[in-house]
Amino acid sequence: MIPISKKRLFVKAALVVAMAYFGVSVAMHAQPAPAAPPVVIKSANDPTKPVPGGVRWFGRMHADYLNQTKTKKFDLCFLGDSITQMWPGDLFGKYFGKFNTVNFGIGGDRCENVLFRLNDGELQGSTPKLIVLMIGTNNQGMNTAEEVAVGVTTVVQALRTKCPQSKILLLAILPSAGTPYEKTKAINAITAKLADRKMIFYQDFGGKLLHPEGRIVPGRLADAVHLTRQAYELWGDEVSPTVAKLMEPSFGK
């Protein structure tokens, strides 16, 4: 027998879906976060359970981001792992500096580490216009594609709860030399469905790193995972127009 609490959640979810189907609008602050795919986590690593990162620099960087959350007013926040953290400063400023931007990337982070950071106070009380999220790369070696997608979804849920007025631009996990691209594509195919084009948006520029047959273009990766300066310029060229549109107050509403 289904517990009453779960029945209520099911009825609420069904009501929201029905209202959307028949064109009934839902107030922005009342919009629920997207539901995580029904997947049982069987791997030893649980991407939905908040835990601090295991790298030696995690505590220092998390403390810095907590301080920025409390002391700075920012309109655009980049959130993720080392691929986000390692943006060259001059290029980051060139493409996104005009938007009053912060970079909350931490090398080594997985979905569960970002969840810990959010639960521990990052972005608490802040109202950025847009949060650009790229996460899940480091989960690929520890979790199935479906589990990684659940982890990404859980991070998006946490952001919608913590920053309900902020739009989210979810970026697809990029191709890497260490993970079969078919697995990466399977994850992205699931998480792309999170986009409602009202508060959650999705963009995949990973194909720009690849030849048509699927090989990584020389000069795009500095190692098996991290990007070269050339690839960051490609990221900026592809994503900055989207960011500019989403930073407009009326876009998506």
- Structure tokens that stand for 225 in this block: 């995972």
Tell me the C-alpha distance between 190 and 181, whole Å.
14
Q: Find the domain containing 98 and state its range.
A: 39-246
- CA torsion, ordered 19, 24, 28, 32, to nearest 10 deg: 0
Query: Is residue 71 in some structural domain?
Result: yes
Inside any domain, residue 218: yes
The verdict on 235 and 137 lying in the same domain is: yes
**Same domain (yes/no): 26, 48:** no
Please count the structural domains in the chain: 2
Contacts of 213 (CB under 8 A, 6+ apart): none
| Token duo for residue 135 | 């996460």
Distance CA 30, CA 4 (A): 22
Examine the domain organization and report whether 226 and 165 are in the same domain. Answer: yes
Residue 176 within any structural domain of the chain: yes
Confidence of residue 140 (pLDDT cuts 50, 70, 90): very high
Q: Does residue 75 fall inside a structural domain?
A: yes
Q: What is the mean pLDDT of residues 191-212?
A: 97
User: How far is residue 180 from each of residues 20, 52, 206, 215, measured CA to CA in Å?
Assistant: 37, 27, 13, 11
Question: With bands split at pLDDT 50, 70 and 90, how would you rate the model's confidence at 9?
Answer: very low
Residue pair 173/137 in contact (Cβ under 8 Å)? The answer is yes
24 falls within a domain: yes
Q: Does the pLDDT of residue 27 top 80, yes or no?
A: no
* 72 and 183 both lie in a single domain: yes
**What confidence score (pLDDT) does residue 250 get?**
75
Query: Of residues 34 and 217, which shows the higher confidence score?
Result: 217
- Is 251 contained in some domain? no
Residue 253 resides in a domain: no
Residue 184: pLDDT above 80? yes
In the chain, where do the E strands start and end?
76-80, 101-105, 130-134, 167-171, 200-203
pLDDT at residue 177 in the model: 93
pLDDT level of residue 48 (50, 70, 90 thresholds): very high
Q: What are residue 200's DSSP bridge partners?
A: 168
Q: What is the model's pLDDT at position 97? A: 96
Based on the fold, state whether residues 11 and 43 are members of the same structural domain.
Answer: no
Whether pLDDT at 91 is above 50: yes
Q: Pick the residue with more confidence: 224 or 18?
A: 224
What average pLDDT score do residues 134-157 get? 98
Q: What's the pLDDT score for residue 35? A: 65
Q: Could you tell me if residue 224 is inside a domain?
A: yes
